[in-house]
Amino acid sequence: MRNFKLTLSYDGTDFHGWQTQPNLRTVQQVLEDGLFSLTRERVRVSASGRTDTGVHAVGQVVNFRSDTRLSPETLLRGLNAHLREDVVVKEAAIVPDAFDANRDAKRKLYRYVIHDGAVPELFLRRYCHHSRYQLDAAAMARAADCLRGTHDFRCFETEWPNRASSVRTIMHLALNRMGDWIWLDVAADGFLYNMVRAIAGTLLNVGRGYWPESEVAAILQSGDRTRAGPTAPARGLFLMRVEYDPA
């Protein structure tokens, strides 16, 4: 039995998220169905983390164990031929037996994409949040400064109290504007449920002038989810990359 690692992209629009649920189309389900049709094995695919309904992935990482004799390259081509066009396997490899995509993830990078042009970008509407307000990206970037480093992020957690700690470390955070586009990149050792979308929703309130920049630090201090902004729409969120220690 070998341990396979796959890197996937998917368009979350028509998926009910990652995790298998009865009678709903999920990424895990279509992937496991694809593997069954290729290998005749019912394998269980484990992801670096779940993504919610409508959230996209550029570089989701998963692993599964299988007795198949197919090479990773054959598996990749076979899966891509079998899968519908909103999910693509970008890489396939054999990894050490101990590798676990979820447990071993050291760092994840999420990107939240916002468009604040007067007219929505028709052809990219599924892949960004359109703000009806013109946003002050510089103010958003300054307000976000306080989020870098190790903090208790429960104020940005949808389901608190969770089973474990709400303390996470944001190693990288950048907010940039180019033309009518703003993108927020956040890399951390782990993310709480809806954390990036809650941060985005909070920064959107700052960007449109509804809250002062200092509000973000105050919210973080308070540990109170009800003080933070709304969970921003799923369509703007991309899981960009998952990083592991070198094998």
122 binds its own copies (CB under 8 A): yes
Q: Which of 247, 106, 103, 128 is nearest to 187 (CA)?
A: 106
- Left (φ > 0), alpha (ψ -120 to 50) or beta: where does 126 sit? alpha
The stretch near its own copies (CB under 8 A) out of 122-130, 139-147, 167-175, 201-209 is 122-130
127 binds its own copies (CB under 8 A): yes
Helix boundaries (H) for 14-136: 27-39, 72-82
- Distance of closest approach, residue 246 Cβ to its own copies, in angstroms: 25
- Distance of closest approach, residue 134 Cβ to its own copies, in angstroms: 16
- Distance of closest approach, residue 119 Cβ to its own copies, in angstroms: 6
Look up 185 and say whether it is catalytic: no
Beta strands 87-95 and 46-47 are unpaired
Shorter beta-carbon distance to its own copies: residue 14 or 159:
14
Q: Taking the chain, what is the end-to-end CA distance rounded to the nearest angstrom? A: 19
Residue-level length of the chain = 247
125 binds its own copies (CB under 8 A): yes
Total interface residues for its own copies by CB under 8 A: 17
Q: 4, 6, 10, 131: which one contacts its own copies (CB under 8 A)?
A: 10
- Distance of closest approach, residue 87 Cβ to its own copies, in angstroms: 8
- Distance of closest approach, residue 123 Cβ to its own copies, in angstroms: 6
**Omega before 161 cis (within 30°)?**
yes
Cα distances (angstroms) measured from residue 58 to each of 90, 157, 173: 9, 23, 18
Instruction: Show the binding pattern over residues 87-106: x = contacts its own copies (CB under 8 A), - = does not.
Output: xx-x----------------
Helix boundaries (H) for 40-104: 72-82
Q: 40, 85, 163, 245: which one contacts its own copies (CB under 8 A)?
A: 85
56 binds its own copies (CB under 8 A): yes
Distance of alpha carbon 160 from alpha carbon 179, whole angstroms: 37
Shorter beta-carbon distance to its own copies: residue 92 or 137:
92
Considering 52, 116, 136, 180, which one is annotated as catalytic? 52
Shorter beta-carbon distance to its own copies: residue 80 or 158:
80
User: Which residue reads 């709304």 in tokens?
Assistant: 230
Cα dihedral 243, 244, 245, 247, rounded to 10, equals: -130
**Interface residue list for its own copies (CB under 8 A):** 9-11, 56, 80, 85-88, 90, 119-120, 122-123, 125-127
Active site (catalytic) residues: 52
